[in-house]
Amino acid sequence: MTEPTPARIADILRQVRDADGSTILDHAALDTTMLRDGTLHVALATDRAAAGRIQSLLPAAEQALLALPGVVAASVILTAHRPAAAPAPAPAGGHRPLNLGTPGGRPAQGPILPDVRTVIAVASGKGGVGKSTTAVNLAVGLGMEGLRVGLLDADIHGPSLPRMMGLHQPPQVRDGRMTPLEAWGIRAMSIGLLVDERQAMIWRGPMVMGALGQLLGDVEWGALDVLVVDMPPGTGDAQLTLAQKVSLAGAVIVSTPQDIALLDARRGIAMFEKMNVPVLGMVENMSYFCCPNCGHRTDLFGHGGARAEAEALGVPFLGEIPLLADIRASADAGAPIVISTPDSPAGLAYRALAHTVAATVRRVK
């Protein structure tokens, strides 16, 4: 089935009008479109003032898009921030749209994650240290420990969870709420499941915060023992938003051994301490390299830096993860190394990390 052209989608949207006769595209511009397995995802770019005005038109727009050939479901999102306001009620028999990229979204109705016992952040002070790989293998490893686990990719600008988990389908949307995808025994959600992986997420801070809030609150996570959140690198909006919206049980800090990475990891630990979030410990990734041919061990980035830093800061040291080509290959193939080669040095290291964190999760009341 040929994907509907942007021009045809625009024609449909121009048929959606408000009370004064203005069309939805009089207040917004068609940004991106994508059809996956019968679900049409449409992003509309608008400004702050107009976003509130067209909010009530989104259910009608989604309904109108069903007339396109090959479209069995539609989701329209806004890529702009707007003033906080009570959303218009959903039409009878319809559903409230997912306005990813807008702060607020669904109004608060009790705890944002009422059936999730614990939430753990996996963070780093800088990018490129293997944080996402650690988060994915930790989450799957916790599932192998017998826990009910969810994994949220909170890196809005650089979502990597879909590729690393082998997920390619968009989530189902029912009554304005998304159902996380399941893979390798856990439930997973990422903004990368809603947009083309080649699309650049050029969003400002308020839009990122709104998207993160909705990935938490507008997803049917169900009953979980632990939700692992793969944080973006740094100490910015996403970290603050998460700490404000949910009660974090703790944070796992990932670093490589060299001093420059440890400096940034130290900042990450300081940030969580200021937010009164316990630091569960540090992980030293790319700790050493073992030659696959001769077995010789080389400390490419130094060795033991994270252990020493953890001791200096008074936080637990959670283990060393080797630098192996198999880790990269398994991530590219969409099968975490704790699944693909669980008895490899890396697989065993991640399993040991998951075992340690699982004990902490079980102690949380």
Taking alpha carbons only, the member of 180, 137, 146 closest to residue 338 is 137
Name the 3-class secondary structure at 181.
strand
Name the binding residues for ATP.
Answer: 125-132
Pairing of strands 39-45, 29-36: antiparallel
- Which 3-state string (H, E, C) describes 12-55? HHCCCECCCCCEHHHCCEEEEEEEECCEEEEEEECCHHHHHHHH
Residue keyed to tokens 């997803």? 219
* Residue located via tokens 């693909």: 340
The pairing of beta strand 186-190 with beta strand 181-183: antiparallel
How many angstroms from the chain centroid is the CA of residue 214? 11
Q: Which residues touch 179 (CB under 8 Å, ≥6 apart)?
A: 171, 172, 173, 219, 220
Tally the residues of the chain.
Answer: 365
Binding site as annotated, residues? 125-132
Residue with tokens 């994994």: 151
Please give the angle made by the CA atoms of 319, 159 and 280, to the nearest 5 degrees: 30
Kindly state the tokens that stand for 48: 């702050």
Cβ atoms 242, 248 nearer than 8 A:
yes
Which residues have CB under 8 Å from 274's CB, separation 6+?
none
- Of 119, 126, 87, 123, nearest in space to 216 by CA: 119
Reading the block at residue 43, the tokens are 């992003």
Residue 76 gets the label, from left (phi > 0), alpha (psi -120 to 50) or beta, of: beta
- For residue 152, the tally of other CB atoms under 10 A from its CB is 28
